[in-house]
């Protein structure tokens, strides 16, 4: 007797939706919605992080928001080119990566600059605001003249004396020089009448200051202490006759 074996083949057949009970379908739908709700915050966080990374790359890593213009304000002694050269910010440098403190310090190191401020103007401009030193007096240095400010800083050199500035003669002009500091204190205390007649102020030492006026008159000032009082007394004595006025001791003045 010959046995014939018939191979059985199984096939998975998806049951039609209508054959699945409604309660089972609702159960699976609730599961899918729950999974979507639980994944949604993570998807949102991932999207936000990806967007932030893209923005950071655009701002910090590309020239799309790079420096296209450097604007300099507040200058009269310096030129735009001098300030930009000191700032040394290459074109197309990402604006967000510009070291504002470094630029400010570099510009402030220029002799005519009293103060510098730097800020960004998006999308592509770096603004440098300069406050230059205010000239107070001219000091002879060799065959030229150094212009100093109220701090005694020599920030400009000219071939000729600027006539609008009083002439101050000190051995070593500079903010660390005591004679220079004393001289600018005296200048700051002078009355308009004394300024108008002043030819030059000499300070060979901090305690030997004197003023030379129009008409060959001289005021012996002494040191810079009590300069406000000395200025008032000297102004009142301008009406007196005499070529020499000594206010070094303002309570005991002499005119001769």
Phi, psi of 11 (to 5 degrees): -135, 130
Superfamily the domain 137-255 falls into: Cell division protein FtsQ/DivIB (3.40.50.11690)
Helix extents (H) in 20-175 = 22-61, 80-87, 100-108
Q: What is the pLDDT of residue 2?
A: 45
- Going by C-alpha positions, the residue among 234, 230, 222 that lies closest to residue 196 is 234
- pLDDT tens by residue, the chain, 256 residues: 444 454 556 555 555 555 656 665 565 566 666 666 666 676 566 666 665 555 555 446 555 778 999 999 999 999 999 999 999 999 988 888 899 999 999 999 999 999 999 999 988 999 999 999 999 999 999 999 999 999 999 999 999 999 999 999 999 999 999 999 999 999 999 999 999 999 999 999 999 999 999 999 999 999 999 999 999 999 999 988 889 999 999 999 899 8
Cα distance between residue 95 and residue 59, in whole Å:
8
Q: Is 165 exposed, middle or buried (0-12, 13-18, 19+ CB in 10 A)?
A: middle
Q: For the residues of 144-165, what is the DSSP string, one character each?
A: EEEEE-TT--EEEEESS--TTS
Query: Is residue 125 within 8 Å of 131, Cβ to Cβ?
Result: no
pLDDT value of residue 64 = 73
| Separation between Cα atoms, residue 192 and residue 116, nearest integer Å | 32
The β-bridge partners of 156 are 147
> How much is the pLDDT for 203?
97
CB 245 within 8 A of CB 231: no
Q: For the chain, what are the domain ranges?
A: 26-54, 69-132, 137-255
Fold assignment, 69-132 = Ubiquitin-like (UB roll) (3.10.20)
Question: pTM to 2 decimals?
Answer: 0.72
Residue 209, strand partner residues: 222
d(CA 209, CA 180): 10
Confidence (pLDDT) at 216: 93
Residues facing residue 139 across a β-bridge: 146
């Amino acid at each position: 007797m010959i046995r014939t074996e018939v191979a059985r083949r199984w096939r998975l057949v998806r049951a039609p939706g209508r054959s699945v009970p409604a309660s089972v379908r609702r159960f699976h739908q609730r599961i899918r919605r729950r999974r979507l709700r639980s994944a949604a915050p993570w998807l949102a966080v991932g999207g936000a992080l990806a967007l932030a990374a893209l923005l950071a790359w655009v701002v910090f890593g590309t020239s799309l928001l790079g420096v296209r213009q450097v604007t300099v304000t507040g200058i009269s002694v310096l030129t735009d080119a001098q300030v930009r050269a000191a700032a040394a910010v290459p074109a197309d440098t990402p604006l967000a990566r510009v070291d504002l403190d470094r630029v400010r310090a570099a510009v402030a190191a220029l002799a005519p600059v009293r103060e510098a401020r730097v800020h960004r103007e998006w999308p592509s401009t770096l603004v440098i605001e300069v406050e230059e030193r205010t000239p107070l007096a001219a000091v002879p240095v060799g065959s030229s003249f150094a212009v100093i400010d109220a701090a005694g800083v020599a920030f400009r050199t000219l071939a000729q004396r600027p006539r609008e500035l009083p002439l101050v003669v000190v051995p070593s002009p500079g903010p660390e020089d005591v004679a220079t500091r004393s001289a600018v204190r005296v200048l700051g205390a002078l009355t308009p009448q004394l300024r108008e007649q002043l030819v030059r102020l000499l300070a060979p030492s901090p305690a030997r200051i004197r003023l030379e006026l129009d008409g060959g008159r001289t005021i012996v000032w002494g040191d810079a202490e009590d300069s406000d009082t000395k200025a008032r007394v000297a102004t009142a004595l301008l009406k007196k006759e005499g070529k020499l006025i000594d206010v070094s001791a303002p309570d005991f003045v002499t005119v001769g």
